[in-house]
C-alpha cells in the first residue's frame, strides 16, 4: 500500500486523436505504475468532476457556460489549440476535480498525486496552449473558500511559462507563484509570476538544479505556504518536441526530489500535477511522470 493515493480517472484522456499532446499518457502512466508493481488497483482513487460553482471561483461564468455548451468561437478554439468535443470538456472538469481531491488528500497524507492536471495556461475567461480550465487554481480557491488553507505556493517546472497561473494570482498575497522555464518558448507574453526563473536554450541538469534551488529554497522559507502545488512537467527533457532544455532522466528525478523533499522536510503538504510532456518517444514521457510518483513515495517511507 502506498503512503498516499493516486488520483486518476479514465476520463482524463482528452481524446485528441493525432495530436502533439498525447493525452492517452494518463492511462499509460497508470498502467506503468501497475505493471512495475509500484502500485495496486487499491492505490488509485477516482475523482468526481468539479462543479461549475468550483470553476467559477477562478473562471468567468461566461467562459464556463460556453465551454460546457461548446459555443466557442473559432478564435477561441485557435488559442486553445485542441479540438472541442464533449469528452475533451469532461476531461477538464475531471482534472479540476482530481487536483482538488489530491489537494484535500495532501492535507491528510502529506502528498497528494493527481495522475493528470497541471493545465497552467488557462486564463479566467479563455483557454490557451491545450489548457481550458486551470485545475491548480481551482483547487487552491476551493480549499481557501473551505478555510482548509490560507496560503498556497505554486512551483511550476514545466518547460513553458505558467502564464495563466501568473495572471490569475497577480497581486494576491495569499498565493506565491514560481515558474522556471525556457524563456525563448511559448507563451510569447509572460505576465510576471512572483518569481520567474528564465532559462536560456539548452540548459542542462546542473545549471537547472542550481537555478531552481537558488530561487525556490529562499522563497518557500520566507512565504511558508500551507500547501505546495507542484506542476511537474516532463517537457524539460532533452528529447521533448516542444522544449529546448536538455535535462536528462536523472536530472528530472533530482528536480522532483528537490521540490518535494523541501516540502516534506518542512511539513508542508504537497500536491503533484503532471502538466506537459511531449517526448519523441511517448514511453519516455510515461517513464518521467511515473518516476515522479516513485520519487514522492520514496520520500514518505
- Active site members: 121
Kindly state the cell numbers that stand for 166: 501568473
Check: CB of residue 59 under 8 Å from CB of residue 134.
yes
Phi and psi at residue 156, to the nearest 5°: -105, 110
Give the pairing type, strands 111-114 and 195-199.
unpaired
Identify any residues that bridge with 231 across adjacent strands, giving them in sequence order.
156, 273
Structure letter (DSSP) for residue 213: H
Question: How far apart are alpha carbons 226 and 239 in whole angstroms?
Answer: 35
Give the pairing type, strands 44-45 and 6-7.
parallel
Closest CA relative to residue 157, chosen from 60, 41, 89, 253:
253
Question: How far apart are alpha carbons 56 and 159 in whole angstroms?
Answer: 28
Residue 283, C-beta contacts closer than 8 angstroms, at least 6 positions apart: none
Rounded to the nearest 5 degrees, what angle is found at the Cα of 199, between the Cα atoms of 193 and 204? Answer: 135
Taking CA atoms, 46 is separated from 138, 141, 169, in Å, by: 18, 21, 28
Check: CB of residue 99 under 8 Å from CB of residue 273.
yes
Question: How far apart are alpha carbons 7 and 98 in whole angstroms?
Answer: 6
Question: How far apart are alpha carbons 88 and 23 in whole angstroms?
Answer: 10
Amino acid at each position: 500500500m502506498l503512503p498516499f493515493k493516486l488520483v486518476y480517472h479514465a476520463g482524463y484522456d482528452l481524446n485528441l486523436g493525432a495530436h502533439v499532446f498525447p493525452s492517452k499518457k494518463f492511462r499509460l502512466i497508470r498502467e506503468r505504475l501497475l505493471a512495475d508493481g509500484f502500485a495496486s488497483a487499491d492505490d488509485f482513487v477516482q475523482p468526481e468532476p468539479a462543479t461549475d460553482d468550483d470553476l467559477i471561483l477562478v473562471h468567468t461564468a461566461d467562459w464556463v457556460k460556453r465551454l460546457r455548451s461548446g459555443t466557442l468561437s473559432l478564435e477561441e478554439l485557435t488559442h486553445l489549440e485542441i479540438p472541442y468535443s464533449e469528452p475533451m470538456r469532461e476531461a477538464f472538469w475531471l482534472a479540476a476535480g482530481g487536483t482538488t481531491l489530491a489537494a484535500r488528500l495532501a492535507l491528510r497524507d502529506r502528498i497528494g498525486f493527481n495522475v493528470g492536471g497541471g493545465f497552467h495556461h488557462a486564463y479566467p475567461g479563455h483557454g490557451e496552449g491545450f489548457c481550458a480550465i486551470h485545475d491548480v487554481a481551482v483547487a487552491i480557491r476551493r480549499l481557501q473558500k473551505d478555510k482548509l488553507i490560507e496560503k498556497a505556493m505554486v512551483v511550476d517546472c514545466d518547460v513553458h511559462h505558467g502564464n495563466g497561473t501568473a495572471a490569475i494570482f497577480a497581486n494576491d498575497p495569499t498565493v506565491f507563484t514560481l515558474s522556471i522555464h525556457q524563456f525563448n518558448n511559448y507563451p510569447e507574453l509572460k505576465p510576471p509570476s512572483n518569481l520567474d526563473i528564465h532559462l536560456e536554450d539548452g540548459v542542462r541538469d546542473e545549471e537547472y538544479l542550481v537555478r531552481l534551488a537558488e530561487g525556490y529554497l529562499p522563497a518557500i522559507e520566507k512565504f511558508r505556504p500551507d500547501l505546495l502545488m507542484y506542476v511537474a512537467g516532463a517537457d524539460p527533457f532533452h528529447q521533448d518536441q516542444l522544449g529546448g532544455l536538455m535535462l536528462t532522466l536523472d536530472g528530472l528525478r533530482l528536480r522532483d526530489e528537490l521540490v518535494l523533499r523541501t516540502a516534506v522536510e518542512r511539513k508542508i503538504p504537497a500536491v503533484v500535477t503532471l502538466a506537459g510532456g511531449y517526448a519523441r518517444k511517448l514511453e519516455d514521457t510515461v517513464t518521467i511522470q511515473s518516476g515522479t510518483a516513485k520519487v514522492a513515495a520514496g520520500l514518505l517511507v
